[in-house]
């Protein structure tokens, strides 16, 4: 049997880490087994769904760089893949459950349900959920009231006094008392739209989904879903409830821990491949001692037995390490393209949003080797390279003074560096080191003490990208001009 998996988000919010991890694991499992990965939009919550969130979903996956085989945008044999376009199907299957006596019509108003909730709360009752007021209605009476136009929902009749047992590929056999299942949940709302439970089961069956990989937060809904499969007489898919993603405090990952939506990571300067690599390791193990993976490599090794039972802990520092590794490995052109939006926002080329001219663009690309080893985030790159695009203000005199030195020592070093500028700005690192070492030996000055004032004069900071590489990019004339400005200030 060919594997068929799906990612079925509700477009009621931005795509977040947990959802992307679910989508990624489904995609990897499909690739690993030669199966099919489908996208289905579960948009039956009409009060919360928004086209902006649908757009965010597509934009997110375009940025991440992996996609589905079937879905609303690409079609497929089981279209439509948007639940709001499948309403007639859900109504038909809700009718089937009514005819089987497995469901019933409920005429309770929202006001009555709220009153019941408040009464229980006041009495400190342990009971929750629907009180099954309409469960005992005669089918004929309920049908007549519905035909007369009375507003109602359709609820599932949970078999009482029984147990529901199912097997989870990760957790093993799970047993649940039916009396602890959501009491007779609504399957079809009064507006004719299905709830998640009915639409999810009908679509998974009709779309021939073989495996459902989803977060463990859905585990408590699974007994209800198994009951639905049984009353329909359908074979349920294989369930695999993925470990939760937690913060380092042991609580479910949320905004209090830091960024959670993919938009936040994207705007925060993370590379998509680094984020995917890290997310793929949240709750799964592939090969001991190896951390850097491509999606193709992961797909070759992914299997359900690679997934861990224990919750995954999201470590922002570890993610930053991954990002730094991917920045180091990126080609200069590629890294410049990724960093350009952040440079534009920072006004690196002469004003916020101003694009680079041809010379600035070439300089930006050529400067990438200077920051590859020093940037963990793309957002850090513009500030690290600002001195290349505009002469920085001359710092305070104290910044030029080498350790255990004086301002006079700094002046002497700058004066002795000035004749070397042409050679330092045109040669290579090895040649520059030879020249500087010779100058330092002649003057009995430590190399670090000699280079500190020069670094501050050229870059405006005591800490900067490689000095000799910076001087080559700036050119001899600009470097000489900056040293002279520094001497005037000192």
Same domain, 224 and 96: yes
pLDDT confidence tier of residue 259, bands split at 50, 70 and 90: confident
**Residue written as tokens 């909730």?**
117
Determine phi and psi for 247, rounding to 5 degrees.
-80, 175
- pTM of the model as a whole: 0.92
Same domain, 255 and 324: yes
Same domain, 199 and 261: no
Determine whether 366 is exposed, middle or buried from the number of CB atoms within 10 Å of its CB (0-12, 13-18, 19+): middle
Question: Which helix (H) or strand (E) element contains residue 146?
Answer: helix 139-147
Same domain, 201 and 309: no
Please give the mean pLDDT across all residues of the chain: 94
Give the pLDDT mean for 458-476: 96
Reported as a single tens digit per residue, the pLDDT across 289-346 is 899 999 999 999 999 999 999 999 999 999 999 999 999 999 999 999 999 999 999 9
d(CA 357, CA 345): 16
DSSP code, position 258: S
pLDDT at residue number 202:
98
Q: Active site residue: 100, 255, 300, 437, which one?
A: 255
Query: CB-hemisphere CA count at 13 Å for 186?
Result: 19
255 in catalytic set: yes
Look at residues 329, 344, 366 and tell me which one is the last residue of a structural domain. Answer: 329
Query: CB-hemisphere CA count at 13 Å for 79?
Result: 9
Same domain, 222 and 254: no
Do 397 and 490 meet the contact criterion of CB atoms below 8 Å apart? yes
Same domain, 475 and 357: no
DSSP 311-355: PEEP-HHHHHHHHHHHHHHS-HHHHHHHHHHHHHHTTTTSSTTPP
Residue 67 three-state SS: coil
Same domain, 100 and 192: yes
Reported as a single tens digit per residue, the pLDDT across 330-349 is 999 999 999 999 999 999 99
Give the pLDDT mean for 344-358: 95
Same domain, 411 and 359: no
Same domain, 232 and 99: yes
Determine phi and psi for 166, rounding to 5 degrees.
-145, 160
Q: Which two tokens stand for residue 411?
A: 């002046």
d(CA 218, CA 323): 31
Same domain, 257 and 315: yes
Query: In terms of residue numbers, what domain contains 256?
Result: 1-72+243-329
Reported as a single tens digit per residue, the pLDDT across 391-440 is 999 999 999 998 888 999 999 999 999 999 999 999 899 999 999 999 89
Q: Which two tokens stand for residue 341?
A: 């939006």
**How many distinct structural domains can be found in the chain?**
4
For 331, other C-beta atoms within 10 Å of its C-beta total: 10
Give the pLDDT mean for 241-246: 94
pLDDT at residue number 412:
92
Residue 311 to residues 174, 281, 341, 481, Cα–Cα distance (Å): 18, 12, 35, 58
Reference 108, options 130, 141, 85, 80; nearest CA is 130
DSSP code, position 377: S
Determine whether 1 is exposed, middle or buried from the number of CB atoms within 10 Å of its CB (0-12, 13-18, 19+): exposed
Do 397 and 489 meet the contact criterion of CB atoms below 8 Å apart? yes
Q: Which two tokens stand for residue 363?
A: 């300089």
Look at residues 206, 225, 242 and tell me which one is the last residue of a structural domain. Answer: 242
Residue 242 three-state SS: strand
């Amino acid at each position: 049997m060919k594997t068929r998996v799906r990612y079925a988000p509700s477009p009621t919010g931005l795509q977040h880490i947990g959802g992307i991890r679910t989508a990624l694991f489904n995609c990897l499992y499909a690739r690993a087994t030669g199966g099919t990965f489908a996208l289905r939009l579960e948009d039956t919550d009409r009060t919360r769904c928004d086209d902006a969130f649908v757009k965010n979903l597509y934009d997110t996956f375009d940025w991440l760089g992996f996609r589905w085989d079937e879905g609303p945008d690409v079609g497929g044999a089981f279209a439509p893949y948007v639940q709001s376009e499948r309403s007639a199907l859900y109504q038909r299957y809700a009718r089937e459950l009514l005819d089987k006596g497995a469901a019933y019509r409920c005429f309770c108003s929202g006001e009555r349900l709220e009153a019941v909730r408040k009464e229980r709360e006041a009495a400190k009752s342990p009971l929750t959920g629907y009180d099954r007021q309409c469960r005992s209605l005669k089918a004929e009476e309920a049908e007549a009231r519905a035909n007369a136009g009375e507003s109602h929902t359709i609820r599932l009749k949970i078999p009482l006094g029984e147990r529901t047992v199912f097997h989870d590929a990760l957790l093993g056999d799970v047993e649940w008392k039916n009396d602890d299942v959501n009491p007779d949940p609504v399957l079809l709302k009064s507006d004719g739209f299905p709830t998640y439970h009915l639409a999810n089961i009908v679509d998974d069956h009709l779309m021939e989904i073989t495996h459902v990989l989803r977060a463990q937060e859905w585990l408590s809904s699974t007994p209800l879903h198994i009951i639905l499969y049984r009353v329909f007489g359908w074979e349920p898919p294989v369930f695999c409830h993925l470990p939760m993603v937690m913060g380092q405090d042991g609580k479910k990952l949320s905004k209090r821990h830091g960024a959670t939506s993919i938009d936040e990571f994207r705007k925060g300067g993370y590379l998509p491949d680094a984020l995917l690599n890290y997310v793929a390791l949240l709750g799964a193990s592939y090969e001991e001692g190896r951390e850097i993976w491509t999606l193709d490599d992961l797909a070759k090794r992914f299997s359900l037995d690679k997934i861990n039972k224990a919750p995954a802990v999201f470590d922002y520092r570890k993610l930053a390490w991954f990002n730094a590794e991917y920045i180091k490995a990126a080609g200069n052109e590629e890294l410049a393209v990724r960093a350009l939006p952040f440079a534009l926002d920072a006004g690196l080329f002469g004003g916020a949003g101003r694009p680079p001219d041809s010379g600035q663009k070439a300089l930006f690309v050529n400067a990438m080797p200077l920051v590859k080893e020093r940037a963990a985030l793309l957002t850090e790159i513009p500030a690290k390279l600002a001195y290349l695009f505009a002469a920085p203000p001359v710092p305070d005199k104290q910044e030029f003074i080498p350790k255990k030195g004086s301002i006079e020592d700094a002046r002497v070093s700058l004066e002795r560096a000035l004749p070397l500028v042409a050679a330092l700005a045109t040669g290579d690192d090895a040649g520059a080191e030879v020249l500087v070492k010779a100058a330092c030996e002649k003057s009995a000055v430590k190399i670090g003490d000699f280079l500190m004032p020069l670094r501050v004069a050229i870059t405006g900071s005591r800490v900067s990208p490689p000095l000799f590489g910076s001087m080559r990019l700036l050119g001899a004339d600009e470097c000489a001009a900056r040293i002279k400005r520094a001497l005037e200030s000192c």
